[in-house]
């Protein structure tokens, strides 16, 4: 079930049997020479729809904009500030919470969103603890990065090893290829650039710094990945695995005390 395609009567009826919603989080940013700019929202949106179909759940509108200031030197990238993104998350939750929604399952597609969505969840918990009247004790917020689902994580390692890299990864590109088969492989790419373990560690959560420096360092937008390994068949398998992992994780979330 999709909130944007529903009537308010249908949402009211849904609240009669579930107080949970899945919220895809993305970003609008370059994804290397072959990747679509919407990759980070296309992936969690499709996975969320699969989870909703398998677990009789509701998908809310994706928050397509994310925090990616380090990619602003690449044409087409649109970043929110972290504070804007947090405010969006908080307004989203507050709006639905007043109508009775209690469980928010954020399915994230972008590393730079991890810290701000977690911070927004902290703020929401803190705010409601000042308001004992709010039915807030029943509010539950869960954040998941689709690429960290256990089966997906294993497949990414098996399929691409270290060439999964950090950004414009073959796994995310493969999922978009499966969903949009007209996508070309893009231009021939130079050999991918290996990044060190130290770099991965220091830049976890897309902690990249200045946009100009980022583009100088990674001129075609890939960060340690080889997206030329992506293919639609891998994408279908990764998508199916993410949906299966997501359904069990979402079901566990529903019964989390
Ligand atoms: Ni991405």
How many angstroms separate the alpha carbon of residue 46 from the centre of ligand 1? 14
pTM, two decimals, is 0.94
How many angstroms separate the alpha carbon of residue 124 from the centre of ligand 1? 26
Retrieve residue 105's tokens: 């399952």
Give residues with Cβ within 8 angstroms of 22, minimum separation 6: 48, 51, 52, 57, 58, 59, 60, 105, 107, 250
How many angstroms separate the alpha carbon of residue 143 from the centre of ligand 1? 16
CA 241 to chain centre: 15
The pLDDT tens digits along the chain (257 residues) read 999 999 999 999 999 999 999 999 999 999 999 999 999 999 999 999 999 999 999 999 999 999 999 999 999 999 999 999 999 999 999 999 999 999 999 999 999 999 999 999 999 988 876 665 555 578 899 999 999 999 999 999 999 999 999 999 999 999 999 999 886 666 778 878 888 888 888 888 888 889 999 999 999 999 999 999 999 999 999 999 999 999 999 999 999 98
Q: What is the pLDDT of residue 207?
A: 81
How many angstroms separate the alpha carbon of residue 42 from the centre of ligand 1? 10
How many angstroms separate the alpha carbon of residue 2 from the centre of ligand 1? 23
How many angstroms separate the alpha carbon of residue 221 from the centre of ligand 1? 11
What are the CA-CA distances from residue 90 to residues 115, 118, 123, 131, 132 (Å)? Answer: 14, 11, 8, 16, 18
CA 175 to chain centre: 13
Q: Which uninterrupted H or E stretch holds 147?
A: none
> What 3 state SS string does 56-98 have?
CCCECCCECCECCHHHCCCCCCEECCHHHHHHHHHHHHHHHHC
How many angstroms separate the alpha carbon of residue 121 from the centre of ligand 1? 22
How many angstroms separate the alpha carbon of residue 43 from the centre of ligand 1? 9
How many angstroms separate the alpha carbon of residue 255 from the centre of ligand 1? 30
Q: What is the pLDDT of residue 124?
A: 92
């Amino acid at each position: 079930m999709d909130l944007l395609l529903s009537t308010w009567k249908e949402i009211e009826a849904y609240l009669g049997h579930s107080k949970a919603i899945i919220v895809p989080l993305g970003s609008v940013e370059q994804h290397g020479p072959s990747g679509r700019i919407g990759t980070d929202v296309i992936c969690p949106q499709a996975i969320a729809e699969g989870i909703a179909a398998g677990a009789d759940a509701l998908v809310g509108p994706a928050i397509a904009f994310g925090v990616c200031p380090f990619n602003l030197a690449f044409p087409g990238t649109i970043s929110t500030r972290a504070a804007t993104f947090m405010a969006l998350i908080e307004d989203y939750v507050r709006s639905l919470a007043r109508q009775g929604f209690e469980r928010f399952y954020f399915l994230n597609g972008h590393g730079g969103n991890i810290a701000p969505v977690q911070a927004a969840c902290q703020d929401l918990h803190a705010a409601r603890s000042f308001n004992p009247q709010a039915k807030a004790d029943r509010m539950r917020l869960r954040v998941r990065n689709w690429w960290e689902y256990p089966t997906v994580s294993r497949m990414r390692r098996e399929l691409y090893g270290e060439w999964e890299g950090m950004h414009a990864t073959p796994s995310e590109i493969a999922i978009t290829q499966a969903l949009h088969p007209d996508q070309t492989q893009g231009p021939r790419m130079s050999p991918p650039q290996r990044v060190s373990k130290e770099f991965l560690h220091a830049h976890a959560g897309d902690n990249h710094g200045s946009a100009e420096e980022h583009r100088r360092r990674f001129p075609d937008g890939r960060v340690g990945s080889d997206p030329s390994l992506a293919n639609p068949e891998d994408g279908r398998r990764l998508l199916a695995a993410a949906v299966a992992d997501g359904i069990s994780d979402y079901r566990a979330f529903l019964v989390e005390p």
